[in-house]
Chains A and B, each alone.
Chain A
């Protein structure tokens, strides 16, 4: 018998964790001499009060959906992929190559090409740690961390020595041609009569991210492969007994994870910057960890958590603009969310389980 009803596990625990994180964040804001209520007001108006705010919130959310899904898929196979950051960086490299070196006639084809490039590069970057985990038992957490640093060095090298246009001091690639410009939400919504901010970077890759959520959901819960991934995640020996190959599942789960992380580049590199710059990922790969934990590794949960973190990011930028609270407040909130939903999960869970058990005994 389950200790807790399912809704408590899915909804109550993340919500309580979030409230705990929010209370501590409020204390931090109080501690540096600002008013938490005022801060929340500013964040809400800044991130959700205008289509400009929404445009940024959704832009960040798109990044976090991809990286959150990447971490979530790996979690299902009980693999902890900290390498989303590096995989997204390499995805950016893939997107930049596809956009710069292929003459695309139309953005829609370019988007398909960029998706393929991003997925291949992201998956390739995840493939080596996956292979080492599957075949040689090297701990995937350590190897993916190392690969993040190696990815940063690779990107640095490519931008400084290979892709930088002649005469430019800036370590960045050339601007992508006009033909691969992805339509922003403004351009998408204007024909159907909805006016959306022109300046905001949210673009069509938001739809790609939402599609990815649906595809991942179908993959994990509606296919044989998804069943095998979950079975392997629940019990390696059980899966082995059922004839599921650990090597195959580890490889496939990590390749999918890396491809999803890589896909993020369609948003930040192709959709927003329209060229490849250093540190284009801005830590989104790591936020994916918080998003996946918060969303309980379910694509719909990831979708909601990504929007929440998109709101926090845009709200945090507004706070930094109007108050003396630096942007790093968001990093603290992110840390607290990871702490409560991930590491201190049992602290929240155990008392709740006891409470539900007591209630059930009371009824019976």
Chain B
């Protein structure tokens, strides 16, 4: 395996890690506030469809992005309504949202475009174009650093850079702002937050809304940057891999980035080399597919450092009277 191949694999790692990272950070806000969200997958899927559909009709990828975020926010609102206002089971609500998205996207796609549940392919203007860094072309000849600069760092769409900037952003919000402190507190001990006179319901809705926005961007990235258009079930379990990454990272932003990059790398390797031959021992591609999930189970089992979720996670808050 030569240097250029490694660079290419890492380059596609970054591309594939981006939707995972956005969804993972989305889940991080929600779960840190005590709202479990297994509906990341559904929100991404809904956003992927609406961003592609609106981008295809209007020809503007930015309108598509807005539509994607809006549709994801609607599902977030539903999740909030079920799990915060009506104190329902957050997990069941997440399951319902995943199915709702899986069904509605195909239903609407078929009704609007009549192409068997997909949107028309997006052309220029309807997609996020790669951004080339200055001198990327000129520097590509420089050994080692040249390809790293021009292939690996340059040439991604703006959403990729946004996703990676969201990591320090999330860290800052969570650990350096009053909102972040309260958000973390409401996931650990909502009664204390309530006693301090801060609205538990308001904070949790805010967290769920942020989660919706990030899932919306993740979905839009899938349909308008990574690929050119929506196809049925295009999220293909990414929402669950993001969830796995979140647990792997123990609900912390920087670690979430590394976990997503690791899982992105696994996807990139599985995409490029089907079966891997390691000196006679062949690793079948299915092992690469299953590895993120296996790693997560191992982490959850606590054999490699225990993953402890936010204490109030999954519990609806009932105010004392």
Contacts and interface: CB of A to CB of B under 8 A. Distances in A.
B77 interface: no
A149 B82 contact: no
Nearest to B313: A139
B100 A150 contact: no
A339 B82 contact: yes
Contacts of B86: 343-347, 350
A157 B289 CA distance: 11
Contact of B99 (A147, A154, A338): A338
Interface stretch (A98-106, A178-186, A327-335, A355-363): A327-335
A141 B107 contact: no
Interface in A134-150: 136-139, 141-143, 145-147, 149-150
Interface in B50-101: 78, 81-83, 86-93, 95-100
Nearest to B295: A146
Contacts of B287: 153, 157
A293 B106 contact: no
A40 interface: no
Contact of B243 (A142, A336, A339): A142
A161 interface: yes
Instruction: Give the most central of B95, B100, B244, B309: most A CB within 10 Å.
Output: B95
Interface stretch (B130-138, B146-154, B297-305): B297-305
Interface string B91-123: 111011111101110111011001001000000
A156 to B, nearest CB: 5
A143 B102 contact: no
Instruction: Give the most central of A161, A286, A346: most B CB within 10 Å.
Output: A346
A82 interface: yes
A136 B301 contact: yes
21 contacts: A82-B95, A142-B300, A150-B294, A152-B289, A157-B284, A157-B286, A161-B284, A325-B107, A328-B102, A328-B110, A331-B103, A333-B103, A335-B100, A336-B96, A336-B100, A338-B92, A338-B99, A339-B93, A342-B88, A346-B88, A350-B86
Contacts of B263: none
A289 interface: yes
B290 interface: yes
A149 B117 CA distance: 24
B164 interface: no
A145 B82 contact: no
Contacts of B98: 335
Given A150-B290, A345-B88, A32 B111 contact: yes
A343 B110 contact: no
Interface string A186-217: 00000000000000000000000000000000
Interface of B: 38, 78, 81-83, 86-93, 95-100, 102-104, 106-108, 110-111, 114, 117, 237, 240, 243-244, 247, 284, 286-287, 289-290, 293-294, 296-297, 300-302, 309
Contacts of B289: 149, 152-153, 156
A325 B83 CA distance: 31
Given A326-B107, A329-B107, A344-B86, A338 B95 contact: yes
A33 B92 contact: no
A253 B110 CA distance: 42
A341 to B, nearest CB: 9
Contacts of A346: 86-88
B92 A330 contact: no
Lowest 4 A-B CB distances belong to which pairs?
A: A331-B103, A343-B93, A335-B99, A332-B103
Contacts of A154: 286, 290
B99 A334 contact: yes
B110 A326 contact: yes
B297 A132 contact: yes
Contacts of A107: none
A26 interface: no
Contacts of A334: 99, 103
Contact of B106 (A161, A328, A335): A328
A162 B290 CA distance: 18
